[in-house]
Every structure is written in C-alpha cells, then in structure tokens.
Structure 1
Amino acid sequence: MVSFNGYVMSNPGNWTEGCRAIVNITCDHQEPMKFVKLKNTDFWGSDQKHMFSVSFHACRDICMGDCTCKGFQYKEGDGLCYTKASLFSGWTYPINDPRTIYLKLPARVNVSDTAFPRSDVFDSAPPHLDCSQMNIPPILQVHNSNTGAEEPKWIYFYGFIAAFFVVEVSFIAFAWFFVLRRELRPSEVWAAEEEYKVMTSHFRRYSYRELVKATMDFKVELGRGSSGVVYKGVLEDERPVALKMLEHISRGKEEFQAELSVIARIYHMNLVRIWGFCSEGSHRLLVCEYVENGSLASILFSDNILLDWKQRFNIALGVAKRLAYLHHECLEWVIHCDVKPENILLDQNFEPKITDFGLAKLLNRGGSNQNTSHVRGTTGYIAPEWISGRPITSKVDVYSYGIVLLELLSGSRVSELTVGSDAEVHTVLRKLVTMLADKLEGGDDSWIDEFVDCKLGGQFSYVQARTMIKLVVSCLEEDTRKRSTMESVVQTLLSLDEDDK
C-alpha cells in the first residue's frame, strides 16, 4: 500500500479503503498546485480518462485543470495517460517498469524530506495493517475517564449492556432453531441460510411462484447450457429478464453457490447484471438482465444476421476489455474458466456482455494459484494446462479468448477444424498456429483473404486482420509464460482502433 505526505490511510486497519487527502484541493483555482513524482508506481482502478499518444505536459495540464483529479499515471515512450479520480490499491513495480504516478498536492505542502512507504506488487508478504486503529462504531468505544472514582460506574454500565446483548442473541437463536426449522423442510433450510448470506449483496430473492408467473410457466426458452436452461420472462415492473434454471440439483447447488459468490464480489457495466435469485425447495434459479440479441454463437454461426468487420472488431475489443477487468482491476483475481461464444451476449448495439460465472475461480492477489480437481470449461475452448494438471492462472481465459478471436475471424467453429480427422482439437490447433506463424513471417498477405470469413466479401481491414491473427498465435501459445495477457491484448487492439479512426 502506498501512502504519502498530504494523504493518510482512510482506515489503518483496512487498506482497501484507500487514502484520503488531509489538505484541500479546491475548484476555485486560487491556490497554486504541484505534482509529486512516484516512479515505478501505480494505483489500480479509479481511472477518470484513458488517453493515448499524448505528451507529458498535455497529460499534466488535463489533471491540473480538473479539480476532481487526484493525480495521473504517465508511461514514458508509449504516451499513455491515465488520470485518477481516487487513490486505491497503490503498489510499486520493479525498477525497469515504465509506470510513474504524479500526485497533485498544494504547493505549500513540503515533501522534500518525506519517505514514501511502498509495497512491492510482487511481495508475497501482505501489507501491515494496524487493526487496533480500525474504525469501530461509537457504541463500542469505551469511554476513558481520568478519575478512578468513575471507572467502576462505566464497567457496570457496559457490563449490563453486554449481558443484555448476549441474552437477546441467545433468545433469537433459540427461537430460530426450534420454531423456524420445524416449519421448513431440510431443502428450504438451505435456501433460508443462503438468503442471509447474500442479503448484503443487494440481490432480491424471488419466490418460485413469482418466476412461474413471469415466464408464463417457462414458455419461452432462450437457450441451453451445461448447467441448465435459460428462459425469457417479464417481471411485475415490466422489466424483461432471462431466468437461468440450474438442472441436476446435486451439482446445481454447488454451481449456484459459486455463481452467487462471484457476483457478490464483482460488478461492471459490461458484465451481465444479476437482479436476484430463487432458492426454494429443489429449485435454483438466477434472475438475469435480458440481453436483446442473444449470444454471439447464435449470430456468428448462423445465416440470420451477418456481423460486419467493424462489429466483429468491436466485439473482440469489448470481450478483451471485460476479461482484462476481471484479471487486472478486481481486488480479487477472477478467472471465468468458460469463455466461449455462447457466454458472450450482444445487446441492441451489438456491444458484448460476459455471462455465466458458474465455473469461475476466485484467487487472492497475494495468494498462490491452486490446481483444480477436475477439468472445467468446454471442449475446444479449454487450455492445455487443464488437461495436463499444471497450475491454473488467468492464462486459461487468454487461451479461450484466442479461440473466440479465431472464430470471429474465420466465421467457423473451431470444432469444424477436426472434421474428417482422427486428431484431437489441441493437436490440430497446434498445427494451425504453426502454419499461421509461418505465414505471418512471409511478405505475402494474399492468404489473409482466404482465411477471413468469406461471407464478408473481402470487406475488412487487412492491417487489423493481420494483427488479430498475430494475437491468435500469441493467445494459443502452449507455454503460458509466452502467452499474452488480456491487458496487452487490449492495448494492441486499442492502438488498431485509434489508427483506424
């Protein structure tokens, strides 16, 4: 955790609450300001703006002119400028890292003799937290009296409150155990417990009867997946929703808990929104945002709608951004584990949204990656390390993204590559990647015309197509150390998008 002169930790017992200013940065532009340079440092998330190919002075002037800007990150050489609205999750990087943070402070603040405490992003030791200074409710703060005569009075007073609290809690627990459990069947007890666990996540619990009414007895089926069926419904407030009904209860309960666990920790405008859930008897349902155009698979692999080149490029960029958010911006690493066209939904503007976190894996940023007990994901999209038993990292999503990118380019399912062949998908993909790498090294680009979906009739950008094929080769690397990260994929695609404009 990085802290510095002019700022203090909001809560010394909880570093995730970030830093707050102890000096005023006003909007009247009357007090002169300056910037303090912190090399090899970054504050994850809370970016106001992302700008590319701008000068250092232009980046500084943008932050200086915005009173809500707390500082900016500038990458020398790349000209990348990120202005910061808040200061959360500050970390230092190795010496050769180009990231530099410039903190905005009033000119009167003296920082010449300040030693800036830092935490290495690769340091396995967790940051020191002073839990004795955690913010606690006033009712629990013991009054310190200067007179010994008053001390017994306060001891008796708080002792009485504590005893009363213990008796009240015991009575409630007694009533819940003997009364509520008699009224509920065992399967419903689990549902009540789960409701309590997710109450703080602002989900609404729906009754099964409500959802039967909303779907007209599950009349309109939107699709089927490995974990269940998805139906369309309309709630009482006339909001259209998609209801995911989990099948195979013994396995569905586990997936239901996993999906709720992930959803409670993450939220992003381009991840499918979850409005609530139903856990009643043997029924396990999720009430999700309805996305108008359905899945990428239903459009890309059919003749009903033709996605033009610009739409395909925007989908590739959008999915990369969402995965980069899960991998690099969440306080906890989230690995989706089942990235495929069926789990990428397109809204009315064909903007992609990622859904189905039933197989997702959560990893602490300071923790070690763990092996899993069984292979997850969908055949054709799973990375080789799932099968070989190697440690699972966010690179499994990168591999799956490479397959999706390959399908966006060719317009065909990767499974069709093995038609008429006895070889496994991974063997065929290795040969394809080797062939693409060889062709990219050659000077003739005429083969790209044959590789890109013929339904486009040659209407595509050769520069973007060639770079996307390079990304496919990089994402499908067998060696996870050589495989791209989603962050680098986003930067590559954004540079193409800017050149196209």
Structure 2
Amino acid sequence: MAFLSLSSLLIFLLVVSALPLLCLSSSSNNLLSLSVENPEHVIKSRNGSFTAGFYDVGENAFAFAIWFTEPQGQNLTVIWMANRDVLVNGKGSTLALRSNGNLVLNDAGQVDVWATNTTSSKPPQLILNDDGNLVLLEPPNHIVWQSFDFPTDTLVPGQRLTRHASLVSSKSHTNPSSGFHKLFFDNDNVLRLVYDGPELSSIYWPPPWFQPWQVGRSTFNASRFMFLGLYGDFISTDNFTSETSDYGLVLQRRLTIDSDGNVRVYSRRNWEEKWSVSWQAFSAGCNIHGICGENSFCKYEPYSGRTCLCLPGYRFKDETDPSLGCEPEFNLSCNNPEDSRFLYIPNGDFYGYDQGTYLNITFDECKNECLKLCNCNGFQYTHDGAQFLCYPKTLLVNGNLSPAFRGGFHLRLPNSSSFTLQEPNTKCDLVKSVKLERVYVSRQDSVLVKVLLWLAIAIGVFELSCVFLFWCLTWKNYSEQQNYDHLTGTGFRKYSYSELKEATRGFNEEIGRGAGGIVYKGVLKDGRVAAIKRLNEANQIESEFLAEVNLIGRLNHMNLIDMWGYCAEGKYRMLVYEYMENGSLAENLESDKMLLDWRKRYDIALGTARGLAYLHEECLEWVLHCDIKPQNILLDSDYKPKVADFGLSKLQNRNDLNNPSFSRIRGTRGYMAPEWVFNLPITSKVDVYSYGIVVLEMITGKSLRVDGPDHTHQGRLVTWVREKKNKGEGKAWVEQVIDPTVEGSFEMKTMEVLVTVALQCIVEDKDARPSMSRVVEMLQSHSIDLVSESE
C-alpha cells in the first residue's frame, strides 16, 4: 500500500505539472470534438440504424467511420471511412468540427490527416441521417459536405455513385486501405470494373472483348450515375439494371466491392441476422483480374474454393501474397530456337498482352512465330468454330485454369527442363492485419515533468513485478477459469467437454442421429437452447478440426444453420448449433398434426434453394452438400427452413477428397444422383438432383424411407409423378399428386410450379439440370407474382 500511495502521489504531481501543456494543446474554437479514447464519443442516426465514430482497424490503428449499428461485441459492418489509407493512433486522436465549418481528423494531437476543407458563414452542425449519410449542415438546411459524395467501397440504398467518385475495394478482410479493384464510370459513360494494380491495369467487367452495345450498355447518357434501391433493384444510366434474389422485401442492404474484386449486394432483416449475398457480378471468381499475379493460374474447385497456381518452372515471389505473382526458376536463351520447348497445359487461358493475332495458320507456324520473339513466353492455339487462331503472349497475366475453356496454353520452357504442372497450394484470399507503427516526436516537456514521469514509471514497474509474481503462483487456477471464456481465432466460443456434458445432462436427450454423429439437446449456461452434435470420428488433429470449423463458420446465410461454438478436447470433437424448435422437415412430413400447408411447403422449397445456391455459387468457400434429404432441412419457430450438415463432407474423411471426383459414394439412399452410381464426375448438380427428390416428397407426402410403411422408392415416385403430369389434363393432375393431408384449398399454380421445377432437377443428364440459383429465380419470380396478386 505504501508503494501504491507514493506512486499515486507522483502521478498526481505529474498531471498537475503537465496541465498547462494540456491546456495549450486544446482548441477553444471547436463546435464538436470526438476522442478516439472515449467509446461513448459517437454520433447515431435518429432511427438508430447507423453509428459514426472511431473504428478499431488493428493494433493501434483507428479510422473515423460509419457502420450499421450492432450490439456491443458484434463485428461491425462499415459503410464509409474518412481515412482508410492514413490511419490514426489510439491515443490523442480526435475528430473536431471547427467554428469556420471545417471538419478535421487529427492524429495523436500532432498532424491533421483528413479534412473536409469546407467553410461556413454560420456555425454548422454534424448530423448522421437515417440513411447513413453523414452531413455537415449550415443553418437552415444548406448541405456544406456529405459522406455520400465520397464513397469508399460500399453504397447503401439511396446513395448514388456518380462520375465524380468510384468504389475501391479494400486490401483484405482486415486491411481497409485502398485495394486494386475499382467500380467506376469510364469516359464512354459505361459502368465498369477494373483491376488497377501497381504495374498493370485491365478492365474485366463487362467483358472487354465485347462492345458496350453487345452487352446491353449505352454510351449516350453523360449524367453517369447508378444507385441501389430500397427493394433490391439497382439501376445505372448506361442501361445496366438488375435485381437481387430477394427483390421486393424491405431489408437492410448494401452494395460492396469486396477485396476479391467482386461486387456483391448483401441483405438482412436486422442486426440479429447475418448478411447474406443476394446478388453478385461474378459467380466464377477466377474471371476477376488481379486475383493471382503474373505467371500464375487461378483455379477453382467446388470443394476447396479458389487457389493460385504457379506455372511449371515458376515459384511464388511471396508465399503469403499470391497476387504478387510468380518468377521463373530458369534462364531462357532466345538466341537459338532449338533451346526452347513447349509444355501444353490443357484448359489454360491468359487474357490480354498478345503479340498479335494470326488467322488460319498451322500449329507449327504459330509455334515458330513465338520462337521468333525473344520475349514470347508461350502461345494459345485454338479454333473458334470457323478458323484457327494463334495468340503469342509476351506477358502472362489474368490466368484462368478452367474446364469451361476449350483449348489450352503452350508454355515456353528450356529444352533441358523437366517441369510439370503442380497442384495448387496457395489460397487467394489471404488476410493481413493492420498495425500502425508511426513514431512521433514528443514535445519539449519541462525537466520536472520528465523526472516525475521516470520516477512514476520505476515505481510502477516494481509494483507490476510484484503483481506478476503473485499471478505466477496462482497460474494453474487462473488458467482453468480463463479457459471457460477462451475465444479462438475462428470467432466462436470454445466449450470444454465438461460444459457440454453438463448442458446436455450427460448427453441424455437425443434429438437426431446420422452418419456424422449424434445430436443432443442442451441448455447452455447463458440460457440458450442448443443442438450439440457429437461427431463420430475423433482421429482428426485439433489444427485440422479448427480449420474446418472456421470454414463452416464463414458460411453465413439466413437459410443455413448457425453455429455457436465447438469443443476440441482430447478425442472429443463436438459442434454447437442453434436449436430449431420445429425439428426437421422429415418429422413434420411424418407427423399426424398436418402443420404444413401449401404455403409453408412452397416457402420451405424456396428457402432451401436459396441456402444451396449460396453454398454453390455465392460464398467465398465453395461447398457441395452431398446429403440433401428432409432430415437435414430444419425448421425454426416460424417454419423457415435452414439447411444443416453442410460441412459434413469436409469434417469427415477429408483425405477422400483428393480430386474433383469423390473416392466413395456419399449421401442417403433414395436421394443420390445417378453420377454416384455410374462413377461420373461429381459437381453441384448432385445437390440439385437430391433437392428435386425432396421437393417431390414434400409435395406428394410419399416417403422414400426404405423402412417406411409403403416402401416407396425413388424410381417409383419420379415415374409416378411424371406419368400423372404427362397424362393429366388441365389442373386435374396436380390434384392427383398433392399430399392428401394438405387441408383446405391450395394455390394450384404454385403447386404446379413446384412440381415442374422438381422434375427439371431430377433429369438423369446433369448438364440439363438447372443450377440452384436458377431454381431460386424460377421460384422467386412466382413468389413475387403471388404477392402482386394478393395486393
């Protein structure tokens, strides 16, 4: 206590001595001053939807930003930043509104890093509007400055992107500084996406090999603006229009150009829900330029996502950043053409930087054209259906390795080399955090202040040493207590085995069972009811398990089951999910209570399709479910569907996923696509097939369970429905296949649409089946028609 009293006295004297300096550093002509050190210094919109204040970007790095208002502790969704490229310190930084009308952001009391550079004849006000627009207002209602005129990477409904601004992506998920992808209006009045890298620049949307009019764009409107509507539509003056998959609903929305260069629209009802993608410019991420650097391919696999792959004979310049590209491991002499050979890479494509285009020449002539050029790194030789085309390449950028590309690339290598194409091993969406390391020159403080400061530091260090010694003596108990509240890098709660055993009362109440494990009902210590899945396999090491947990946790959609945490302790591997009050679709179909009317069944089909479309095409990690069945479609208290077990194929037997074709059959008998039986390549169309069977089962009420009372199997059900549809006249065939337990009248057209879509999904030819996004469009368009008719 004596030490603490002496230290407190010295600190008090230090503050008194430094008070004149503090007074000198303050500004007396500020109408408003927000401090980075005070979490309460924020500005909120009147409706509470938006908040403006200092946003914690990284270690000792802050930006003044606007974000959607979230509960304390939630991740913030930022829509605008004032100083994304010049972050400020967490000590002494302020945002001040001067009496002359200038809004200034100061870094640690040393230097102004951002300002509106505005003036006002009357004392202005800083107001955050209900739409998220931060406005500097001069009485009575004159707008001096507004954040909507200076967007960063996001637009919100009502905000316009004009010819005077552009949306610029961030560097990564955790680094908000300006990246290299940009959405803007070019000089031809066309809205475009461009990769504007440190060395190269190339437009990638709309496809640059088309003229604007060929993709429906107009160059004759010089006003140049686009905006996102409240209901999910966005319109551009170059005639580009589109709608989100949830168009017509009043939701929170934002249009963002993400760090991967793709433009997406995100939607949610409120802060209690996670953002889901309702529209995106690209479903295939490898068509975006700049994802992988020079001398590399971008490759997409459904089960592993997007990866970067160096060309044979090349290595990454930086293993942690594939966007920097690859460099050769060889020296190629161009004096003698016989010193070179060409390695054929099937389905390889590079866009741009052709030495020229040679028409109707032979393969050998094309190869010789490349050998004549010292800087020719390879060539493409293709046939467009009418003639042969030769493209010698002087620079290998925008590489794409895709089965959809007919032809390949011939890579130039030394004749004596033995390089071959290697499997990809580098993820494209690496995340780098931000740390501010700016050093400042301190003020010339008085000698007394410095002496008192050093004395206080010395005594403080001694006191901390005593506390640290006491802490070390009690480390074991402290460690056990802290383990309860430990959060891993995944962002989920880590539970101990004893906690989950207590929550489930010794794993007493079983609510589900499958190939992956057994699911129990439990009540967590915070009162939440949870579904706790105990996985069968326990031979996975913890680091691999955590990687899989992190993967599942990033798949956020309103129609996917939400995961709250996990357990990785010894041999135990468990997942903690939200509990669904109305159980599975299978339980409801088998129930005698007849709770599923025709409207609920249609909404379940539409919601399930949205969740699967997100897994297949919209999320950053691309996942095949491989086990779509009624038991894996869960219903919440409002009978809204959520797809479960979508991570099972990754959590089980990961070594089986060694190529695009799975090495063993997955799924449940009755719901599996023909590809499994005939050992054909497995794609997302296996989920489409299973979805179609589930929809038929839900419409007809006929079970596919082999142990069920009627022993109805997949072939009989499909054949029976098709025969009823082909032989039926008018609407009578729909009445013959509808589940007799559906009470009351039902919307005949809706059931007809459902049956038609389901039959399209279960054709044997996988290429003839629609994608899940197409299924959503078909069902969504009919849903909108229903709403219009009811109104």
Same fold (TM over 0.5): yes
**What is the CA–CA distance in structure 2 between the aligned matches of 1:279 and 1:413, rounded to whole Å?**
37
Aligned equivalent of 1:85, options 220, 233, 255: 255
Gaps of 5+ in 2: 1-152, 154-162, 194-203, 208-220, 248-252, 264-278, 282-286, 299-307, 309-321, 327-430, 439-475, 477-482, 652-657
1:74 and 1:481 map into 2 onto residues whose CA distance is 36
Per the TM alignment, residue 234 of structure 1 is displaced from its structure 2 partner at its CA by 0.8
**Higher relative contact order (CA closer than 8 Å, sequence separation 6+):** 1
Matches within 5 A, 1:327-406: 327-360=616-649, 370-406=660-696
1:37 to 2:191 alignment = yes
Question: C-alpha distance in 2, partners of 1:100/1:202?
Answer: 26
Out of 486, 492, 499, which is 2:772 matched to?
A: 486
Deviation (angstroms), 1:90: 4.6
Residue 270 of structure 1: CA displacement? 2.7
Question: How far off its partner does 1:475 sit?
Answer: 0.4
**CA–CA distance in structure 1, aligned partners of residues 606 and 628 of structure 2:** 14
**Structure (1 or 2) with the larger CA radius of gyration:** 2
Is 1:438 paired with 2:598?
no
CA offsets, 1:417-467, max 9 Å, x none? 99888xx9554456346525634xx64331211100011146211111111
Shift of 1:247: 2.9
Aligned residues of 2:616 and 2:684 also touching (Cα < 8 A): yes
- Aligned counterpart for 1:283 among listed residues 565, 572, 581: 572
Aligned to 1:230: 519
Distance 1:361 1:334 in 2: 9
Percent identical pairs in the alignment equals 38
Greater share of strand:
2
- Displacement of 1:414 in angstroms is 2.7
Partner residue in 2 for 1:470? 756
Q: Secondary structure at the match of 1:320?
A: helix
Alpha-carbon distance in structure 1 between the residues aligned to 2:523 and 2:261: 44
Match of 2:119 in 1: none
Note if contact 1:320-1:486 (Cα within 8 Å) is conserved in structure 2: yes
Offset from partner CA, 1:191-224 (integer Å, 9 cap, x none): x9xxx9x921112221111112111222222122
Of 161, 164, 170 in structure 2, the residue corresponding to residue 10 of structure 1 is 170
List alignment gaps of at least 5 residues for structure 1: 25-33, 44-56, 93-98, 102-116, 142-179, 181-191, 363-367
Superposition deviation, residue 37 in structure 1: 2.8
**Which moved further from structure 2: 79-88 or 253-262?**
253-262
Give the alignment of 1:114-153 within 5 angstroms: 119=289, 125-126=297-298, 129-130=323-324
- CA-to-aligned-CA distance 1:68-96 (integer Å, 9 cap, x gap): x997579989973688521135569xxxx
Name the aligned partner's letter for residue 226 of structure 1.
Answer: A
Aligned to 2:785: 499
1:241 match = 530
Structure-1 separation of matches of 2:173 and 2:324: 5
2:731 & 2:505 partners in 1: Cα distance?
54
- List aligned pairs for 1:98-109, cutoff 5 A: none
Q: Which residue matches 2:559? A: 270
Displacement of 1:407 in angstroms is 1.1
Deviations 1:250-290 (CA, angstroms, capped at 9, x unpaired): 59999967852531432223321211112223322211111
For each residue in 1:374-403, what CA deviation from the matched residue of structure 2 results, as whole angstroms up to 9, or x when unmatched?
011111111111221111111111111101
CA 1:120–1:345 in structure 2 vs 1: closer, same or farther (change >3 Å)? same
Alpha-carbon distance, 1:120 to partner: 11
In the alignment, what sits opposite 1:63?
A: 227
Corresponding residue SS for 1:398: helix
State the partner residue of 1:30: none
Partner of 1:391: helix, strand, or coil? coil
| Kept in 2: contact 1:340–1:404 (CA 8 A) | yes
Quick check: 2:633–2:643 contact (8 Å CA) kept in 1? yes
Contact preservation (8 Å) 2:582, 2:635: yes
Counterpart residue identity of residue 742, structure 2: L
Show CA shifts across 1:92-151 (max 9, x none): 9xxxxxx998xxxxxxxxxxxxxxx96499xx942882379x97766899xxxxxxxxxx
Give, in whole Å, the separation in 2 of the partners of 1:417 and 1:489. 31
Asked if 1 retains the 8 angstrom alpha-carbon contact of 2:280 and 2:618, the reply is no
What is the rounded CA distance, in whole Å, between the counterparts of 1:409 and 1:430 in structure 2? 12
Following superposition, the deviation at residue 488 of structure 1 comes to 0.8
- Contact kept? 2:624, 2:646, Cα under 8 Å: no
Distance 2:552 2:610 in 1: 18
Secondary structure of 1:316's counterpart equals helix
> Which residue, 494, 497, 508 being the options, matches 1:219?
508
Partner of 1:188: none
| Contact 1:7-1:19 within 8 A present in 2 as well | no
Amino acid at match of 2:243: L
Q: Is the 8 Å Cα contact of residues 218 and 231 (structure 1) preserved in structure 2?
A: yes
Whether the 8 Å contact between 1:359 and 1:377 is mirrored in structure 2 is no
Structure 1 residue matching 2:580: 3-state secondary structure: coil
Shift, 1:227, TM fit? 2.3
Look up the equivalent residue of 1:399 and give its one-letter code.
Y
Q: Distance in 2 between matches of 1:136 and 1:255?
A: 22
1:335 touches 1:361 (CA, 8 Å); kept in 2? no
1:316/1:258 CA distance change after superposition, 3 Å: farther
Q: What TM-score, normalized to structure 2?
A: 0.42
Contact 1:336–1:397 (CA under 8 A) maintained in structure 2: yes
- Residue in structure 1 matched with residue 496 of structure 2 by the alignment: 207
C-alpha root-mean-square deviation of aligned residues, in Å? 4.9
Aligned-partner Cα distance in 2 for 1:404–1:42: 38
